[in-house]
């Protein structure tokens, strides 16, 4: 800054000085060399140009060194909470994270990009040195066969190279080793509003048997009846968090407001406590293994009723007045509204987008045909998930037992909707 002030002060003096040089008479030998034919009056402006270049260089250097500069994207970048120096290491995004700087959490989440480098360029070595090595121990397993894929009866990869998780397409022992070394904590959210509290006990008991066994888990129960939530004995490293939230008259409003509540708590709570969020319906039970194979930046699940259907059969919102509208010539898959997740930052973006779209629809007096599920499908059409779960992960016995679904991991609990839902 001092250099910049000095150059600014010298610039007008330099102009005056060079103008004076050009007015010196040739008879004065002291200035004759400047006023001669080889260095005429016009060329005296060379001094002014040099000073101007010096000023520009000084200013540029000041911006590069003294500002928060992004060395890869080559533009000034706001560092949240000076993450490299003042924050703890956060394994989910593989870069220093502003956890603990609560006043900056909203700014951090709103500015989140999939690839984001925090801090000053002078600390790049410190940044790189903090990457945690994830090294597998010696392990014996069958060699992957390049010419013999584990499944040929189902699609295992999307056109944008996101894996579709089916039984017998992954090695859970390798995945567990990797995630254990990273020390991740998973948050599982569910909404138990009004009569839906009756499902919590079965949900939690079966989750303790099958969901992320051996990993750290936070169960987040959103409810308007906290006293009705049962006290379940949990395994070590797992905890139950009851979140008191308002109810709504219509069940449709409850299901749509889930996006808003998850969005708000991502900023206020989840960002400081967990690495991944898994957002599911509470009127379900775990029936088989559900582990870290589901985790990715942002993931959704194929709806069990449409995983073999064509585009025209998908029950997308088709009315152009709705923010959830998807034309008949678009669409990849039909995703279930009761199962999505990812790293907290991505879930924050997803839920914010869907909530804002639903609020726009409300202002226009229109409601998407399948509420939040319609908006989730629209979001995944233009924000491709990085992993997709097969219908094994959200099944309903109503659909029978197709050959492709070899394991039913998460199943809907039979219920009388007329009794359990409220008007």
Beta-carbon neighbour count of residue 379 at 10 Å?
23
Helix axes 371-382, 251-265, angle to 10 degrees: 50
373 is catalytic: yes
With CA atoms as reference, report the closest residue to 343 among 60, 116, 81.
116
With CA atoms as reference, report the closest residue to 340 among 375, 369, 311.
375
Q: What are the CA-CA distances from residue 79 to residues 101, 104, 105, 119, 408 (Å)?
A: 12, 10, 12, 5, 45
| Rounded CA separation 197/207 (Å) | 16
Which of the residues 260, 346, 373, 392 is marked catalytic? 373
**C-alpha torsion angle, residues 71, 73, 75, 80 (rounded to 10):** -70
| Region for residue 106 given its phi and psi (left: phi exceeds 0; alpha: psi -120 to 50; beta: otherwise) | alpha
| Rounded CA separation 217/185 (Å) | 6
Q: For the chain, how many residues are written? A: 423
**Residues with catalytic roles:** 373
């Amino acid at each position: 800054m001092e250099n910049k002030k000095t150059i600014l002060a010298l610039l007008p003096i330099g102009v005056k000085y060079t103008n004076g040089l050009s007015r010196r008479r040739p008879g004065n030998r002291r200035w004759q060399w400047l006023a001669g034919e080889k260095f005429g009056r016009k060329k005296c402006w060379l001094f002014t140009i040099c000073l101007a270049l010096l000023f520009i260089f000084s200013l540029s250097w000041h911006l590069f060194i003294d500002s928060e500069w992004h060395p890869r994207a080559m533009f000034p970048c706001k560092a949240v909470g000076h993450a490299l120096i003042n924050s703890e290491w956060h394994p989910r995004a593989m870069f220093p994270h502003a956890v603990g700087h609560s006043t900056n959490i909203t700014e951090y989440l709103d500015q989140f990009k999939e690839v984001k480098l925090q801090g000053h360029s002078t600390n790049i070595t410190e940044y790189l040195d903090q990457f945690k090595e994830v090294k597998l121990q010696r392990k014996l397993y069958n060699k992957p066969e390049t010419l013999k894929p584990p499944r040929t009866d189902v699609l295992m990869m999307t056109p944008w190279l996101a894996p579709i998780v089916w039984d017998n397409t992954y090695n859970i022992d390798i995945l567990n080793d990797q995630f254990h070394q990273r020390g991740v904590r998973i948050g599982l959210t569910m909404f138990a509003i009004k009569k839906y509290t009756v499902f919590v006990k079965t949900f939690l008991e079966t989750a303790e048997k099958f969901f992320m066994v051996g990993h750290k888990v936070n169960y987040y129960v959103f409810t308007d009846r906290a006293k009705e939530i049962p006290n379940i004995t949990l395994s070590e490293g797992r905890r139950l968090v009851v979140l008191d939230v308002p109810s709504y008259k219509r069940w449709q409003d409850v299901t749509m407001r889930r996006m808003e509540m998850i969005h708000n708590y991502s900023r206020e709570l989840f960002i400081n406590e967990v690495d991944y969020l898994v957002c599911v319906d509470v009127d379900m039970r775990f029936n088989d293994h559900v582990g870290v194979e589901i985790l990715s930046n942002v993931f959704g699940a194929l709806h069990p009723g449409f995983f073999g259907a064509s585009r025209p059969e998908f029950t997308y919102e088709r009315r152009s007045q709705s923010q959830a509208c998807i034309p008949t010539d678009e669409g990849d898959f039909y995703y279930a509204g009761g199962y999505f997740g990812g790293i907290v930052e991505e879930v924050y973006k997803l839920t914010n987008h869907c909530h804002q779209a639903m609020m726009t629809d409300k202002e226009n007096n229109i409601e998407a045909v399948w509420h939040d599920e319609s908006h989730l499908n629209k979001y995944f059409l233009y924000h491709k998930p990085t992993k997709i779960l097969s219908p094994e992960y959200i099944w309903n016995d109503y659909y029978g037992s197709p050959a492709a679904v070899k394991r039913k991991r998460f199943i809907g609990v039979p219920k009388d909707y007329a009794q359990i839902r409220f008007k």
